């Protein structure tokens, strides 16, 4: 058997008895020998999805959930079948549903007990192999990692292989009445402090060398742009993540038709000197290899 190094990268081209073997990275099944066959996987930093996928168990039945196409892209790029996805803001279960669809496992954390139970019931209908687990907990809790570790052991692994964080965009939408809910923070500073605690929990539970995605948008407050995305990126870096990419995605596919309110926002933009948000960020990070 001969091994040819690929310019210092982890990908290797192996020849066994003269036959070429798949050339892959440790974190996915993409065969780099046949890279042209993967044109369904986005590699650019501008993602345009003009409507939400509503098949394979996905429904738009909860405000603020991200579109399934994001999970599909990220899982195909950064995970392999059987890997464990960890989502610390599970919401209505998009991450878990797509994990089941693509043969991955998922641990989701949701702060609202009623929504937690709703997602559990939803997953029972599609998760015949018990690939998912939903934890009802504050994602910034000091005890969260202990609960996640218990589920990881149940799923047969010590760490998760991919992390998804889709936090509230500060106080734009109130998700619950709980004081620990990030959407109820009294200030941007408090929001960022709590988000950093969530990011640290995710860092501790993620396997070394593996990837994380932060789905986040910005906000306006008192006539000023608040760049939540970049503030949260900084918090991710502070807990140890290395930034790999920033993807800009259109948000039209996230929304229910606004009808006449579109004209209202256009008027407000013209009158207030600002621009209407048409995008959000998908920020990609990697945990240091040790």
Q: What does the pLDDT read at residue 258?
A: 46
CATH of domain 46-287: 3.40.50.150
% of the chain with per-residue pLDDT over 70: 86
Non-local CB neighbours of 260 within 8 Å, separated by 6+ positions: none
Q: Is 19 helix (H, G, I), strand (E, B) or coil?
A: strand
Cβ–Cβ < 8 Å for 102, 218: no
Q: Which two tokens stand for residue 142?
A: 């000091």
Q: Which of 49, 44, 106 is nearest to 75 (CA)?
A: 106
Q: Which two tokens stand for residue 259?
A: 């009808």
Non-local CB neighbours of 231 within 8 Å, separated by 6+ positions: 188, 192
Cβ–Cβ < 8 Å for 152, 160: yes
- Separation CA 55–CA 119 (nearest Å): 16
- Separation CA 256–CA 195 (nearest Å): 27
Q: What does the pLDDT read at residue 179?
A: 87
pLDDT in tens, 156-174: 999 999 999 999 998 888 8
Burial class (CB in 10 A: 0-12, 13-18, 19+), 278: exposed
Cβ–Cβ < 8 Å for 151, 133: yes
- Separation CA 57–CA 60 (nearest Å): 10
Alpha-helical regions (H) of 206-248: 228-239
Q: What does the pLDDT read at residue 105?
A: 97
Question: What is the mean pLDDT of the segment spanning 221-232?
Answer: 94
Burial class (CB in 10 A: 0-12, 13-18, 19+), 166: buried
Looking at residue 24, the DSSP 8-state letter turns out to be -
Q: Which two tokens stand for residue 27?
A: 């974190």
Q: What does the pLDDT read at residue 201?
A: 98
Element (H, E) at 160: strand 160-165
- pLDDT band with cut points at 50, 70 and 90 for residue 5: very low
Burial class (CB in 10 A: 0-12, 13-18, 19+), 148: buried
Core vs surface per residue 214-236: b (16+ CB within 10 A) or e: bbbbbbeeeeeebebbebbbebb
Cβ–Cβ < 8 Å for 216, 228: yes
pLDDT in tens, 45-77: 999 998 776 766 566 565 567 899 999 999 999
- pLDDT band with cut points at 50, 70 and 90 for residue 30: very high
**Annotated domain spans of the chain:** 1-39, 46-287
pLDDT in tens, 100-155: 999 999 999 999 999 999 999 999 988 888 899 999 999 999 999 999 999 999 99
79-88, 170-179, 180-189: the lowest-pLDDT one: 170-179
**Sign of the dihedral through C-alpha 149, 155, 157, 163:** negative
- Separation CA 103–CA 163 (nearest Å): 16
Question: What is the mean pLDDT of the segment spanning 6-14?
Answer: 48
């Amino acid at each position: 058997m001969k091994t040819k190094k690929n310019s210092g990268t982890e990908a290797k081209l192996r020849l066994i008895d003269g036959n070429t073997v798949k050339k892959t990275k440790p974190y996915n099944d993409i065969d780099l020998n046949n890279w042209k066959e993967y044109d369904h996987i986005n590699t650019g930093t501008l993602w345009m999805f003009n409507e939400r996928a509503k098949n394979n168990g996905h429904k738009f039945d909860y405000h603020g959930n991200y579109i399934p196409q994001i999970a599909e892209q990220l899982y195909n790029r950064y995970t392999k079948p059987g890997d464990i996805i960890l989502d610390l803001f599970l919401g209505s279960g998009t991450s878990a549903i797509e994990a089941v669809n693509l043969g991955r496992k998922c641990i989701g954390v949701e702060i609202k007990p009623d929504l937690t139970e709703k997602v559990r019931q939803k997953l029972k209908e599609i998760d015949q192999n018990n690939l998912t687990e939903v934890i009802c907990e504050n994602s910034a809790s000091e005890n969260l990692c202990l609960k996640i570790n218990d589920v990881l052991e149940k799923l047969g692994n010590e760490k998760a292989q991919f992390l998804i964080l889709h936090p509230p965009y500060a106080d734009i939408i109130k998700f619950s009445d709980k004081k620990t809910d990030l959407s109820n923070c009294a200030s941007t500073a408090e929001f960022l402090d709590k988000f950093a605690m969530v990011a640290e929990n995710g860092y501790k539970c993620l396997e070394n060398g593996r990837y994380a995605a932060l789905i986040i948008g910005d906000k306006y407050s008192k006539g000023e742009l608040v760049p939540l995305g970049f503030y949260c990126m900084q918090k991710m870096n502070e807990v140890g993540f290395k930034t790999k990419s920033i993807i800009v995605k259109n948000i039209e596919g996230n929304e229910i038709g606004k009808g006449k309110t579109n004209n209202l926002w256009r008027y407000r933009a013209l009158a207030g000197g600002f621009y209407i948000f048409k995008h959000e960020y998908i920020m990609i990070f990697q945990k240091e290899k040790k």
